[in-house]
Structure 1
Amino acid sequence: MEKVQSQETIYTLKEHVEWIEKSLICEYKLNSFHVVAHSMGCIIGLALAAKHSTSLKSITLVAPPYFPSKEGVEMRAMKWLTPKRLWPPTAFIWSIMVWYEHLSQCVCLLVCRNHRFWEALIKRLTASRDVNFMVMDLTKHTHHSGWHTTHNVLYRGVKEMDKNLETLMKLKKRVHVIVGSRDKTIPPDSRHNIKTKFPDVELLNIPNAGHRSIILTRETDFAHNLFHI
């Protein structure tokens, strides 16, 4: 099933939304729900919320990669989120994975085909049985899913955010945005732009929080924020 799916899909924003519909909304027969999304997931979450606006109770966007929708926004997002850089190593790897498809294929072939070996090696080198889930998941990304999701959702999907936000605002839906003051992944003017264009959005700025630490180092506080929402 997974093999057939990987050959037939190119991981568009529409396909991601449809998979969530099938696996959650239809599977559990949900007629009302809250949406919580982080980073690139905010693009998918907004598309899902706009499509099912009658069932939506609220949507919380955490560290959304927001770029005002205008001509050339895809390239602007690509250059900002994954610039061509040699340092630090993580930025260099992202440059290869996003800008150079053939090199990306080679890296994924080496890592993904042998992900059990890399898992065992990482556990041995760190002397730990519980390696961070993000590290483990990284070894399982295929080139097909990673390349197409990045380009079709992250870079092409940013231009859909304004349209979907407008839909939710017109319907008076509750939209919450949580950003970190030290988040260097998203543009520094993101929080200002989104609040200026959509003044009814409820914005919460978390001091000293980065793109990942806005959740991963403050799980209790994050859950508290969601409880109040």
Structure 2
Amino acid sequence: MGTTRSALILLAKAINEILSFIVFSILDVLDVLLCFIYKLVDFCVESEWKACYCSSAKEAITSSGKIFVSEQGESKIVCVCSSKLQLEDVSDTLYKRSSLVSDISKSTVKELRRLKVKKTTSMSSTTTTTTIMRSCEKVKNGTTVRSTFNIDSTIVEMLQGKIERQGSPPIPRWSDCDCKICNSWSTSSCKETLFVHAEGPKGKVREDVLFIHGFISSSAFWTETLFPNFSAVTKSSYRLIAVDLLGFGRSPKPADSLYTLREHLEMVERSVIDPFKIKSFHIVAHSLGCILALAIAVKYPGSVKSITLISPPYYSVPKGEQATQYVMRRIAPRRIWPLIAFGASLACWVRTFLLDGFMCHTHNAAWHTLHNIICGTAGKLDEYLDAIRNQVNCDINVFHGRDDELLPVECSYKMQSRIPRARVNVIDKTDHITIVLGRQKAFARELEEIWKRSSSG
């Protein structure tokens, strides 16, 4: 029986590998075709070519444009904020993604260049080949130090368009949803702040609790599940605050945003921490929101009373691996099985607020947030966790569904190895979504115990 079962498992893995290769090869070709089609539609409908992340990096740009720089595996974009220049982190996974078509193209171009160089060398032994790179030089301790940057034209075009359009109202693209829900923010008086749902006593509150949702979700993930199940004592003592992150739910979805970590954090500060004058607060975060929760805790170490993370997307990156690319391979392994747990959960929990959260975003917001937050912060999470371990004196609790196929349980255990005092609670028979949905009352009680313990400590 054991031998037969092992043989069947190996056969299933082989079939999965073969089918995955076929399916993703077709999708890679389709990706190239759709890229060309979308560019044509852009030109016909909007009278201009739109930059896309299929474009290859160029070595030079016009002197009037801002530049995207990449050095030693880290990518930054030079942007203008008021009268200041800022370096903003972006993930290289936006424009460097392994695919069959790109790999074959690169190999072919590389081979043609090698043959061309070999032919040129044989024709004239005195001819030398020189690679020209944009670089900057500075003198340090009597020696010249050269720093070379790779320049990506895609980000440059996007940023140039952003600067040219400053002061003018955003124009939705033909491919963006133009429904009332997705665009209500553009006509409201709160264009510069997130949508915030707050419940609690009108007078003096004991403490605040900030709820941060995950990827392709909204504040309804909390307000429709946990908020109704908190006790009367909690509702009369704590101010419960749930936000729609930038680009999701009823919050602004600017087309010119790159949805970086800095942009997300600034919007949370501008919409919650500053206007509510929060001094002491607890944080509850799910999935992608866990990354923002860690960043907030690092920035406000003396204000955070407790941190509760649900299914955190944390992967311990092996030495020698590029963090962003490693995490992208883990969360998107290019396999057709198992199906993303979120899809299975959505099919099982067909509720209005889930569908609203899933649909109420733009592809621009979802795409950039996925890459710049989950993949782009992979190299920073260890620093955040070390800072929280050493500088943030608060209770830390991590919850994870044992059947979570989107983010495995090892993510939470790896986080605990970085912060030994963190309590990891693995819940049986739950996945990425059902760890909250379906056990709302139990989870509400668990949170209340965490807050009570943190306050008394």
Counterpart in the other structure of 1:113 = none
1:207 Cα offset (Å): 1.5
Q: Radius of gyration: which is bigger?
A: 2
Of residues 291, 295, 319, the one that matches 1:47 is 295
Number of the residue aligned with 2:327? 77
Partner of 2:373: 153
Change (3 A) 1:89 1:63: closer
Given that 1:37 and 1:62 are in contact with CA atoms closer than 8 Å, whether structure 2 keeps it comes out as: yes
Contact 1:43 1:158 in 2 (8 A): no
Cross-structure match for 1:201 = 422
Question: By how many angstroms is 1:89 displaced?
Answer: 7.0
Residue 355 of structure 2: SS of its match in structure 1? helix
Which of residues 221, 225, 228 in structure 1 aligns to 2:446?
A: 225
Following TM superposition, by how much is the alpha carbon of 1:187 offset from its aligned partner in structure 2, in angstroms? 3.1
Q: 1:187 to 1:131 in 2, by over 3 A?
A: closer
Structure 2 residue aligned with 1:24: 272
After superposition, the CA RMSD in angstroms is 2.3
- Conservation of the 8 A alpha-carbon contact between 1:69 and 1:161: no
> Cα offset for 1:228?
0.7
Q: Structure 2, unaligned stretches of length 5 or more? A: 1-168, 170-184, 192-252, 344-349, 451-457
Aligned AA for 1:80?
Answer: R
Instruction: Tell me how far 1:87 sits from its aligned partner.
Output: 5.5
Give the total of aligned pairs: 192
AA aligned opposite 2:272: L
Residue number among 357, 362, 381 corresponding to 1:142 in the alignment: 362
| Cα distance in 2 between the residues matched to 1:90 and 1:180 | 14
2:403 alignment counterpart: 182
Say which structure is richer in strand.
2
Distance in 2 between the 1:138 and 1:212 partners? Answer: 13
Measure, in 2, the Cα distance between the counterparts of 1:22 and 1:200.
31
TM-score (norm 2): 0.39
Alignment TM-score, normalising by the size of structure 1: 0.75
Tell me the SS of whatever aligns to 2:258: coil
Quick one: higher RCO (CA 8 Å, sep 6+), 1 or 2?
1
Give the deviation of 1:88 after TM superposition.
Answer: 6.8
Aligned residue identity for 1:60: T
Tell me the SS of whatever aligns to 1:147: helix
- Which is helix-richer, 1 or 2? 1
1:65-96, Cα deviation, whole Å (9 max, x unpaired): 111255422222212222324467768x9xxx
Rounded to whole Å, the distance in 2 between the matches of 1:132 and 1:18 is 30
Q: Distance in 1 between matches of 2:340 and 2:303?
A: 39
Tell me if structure 1 keeps the 8 A contact 2:386–2:418: no
Contact 2:409 2:426 in 1 (8 A): no
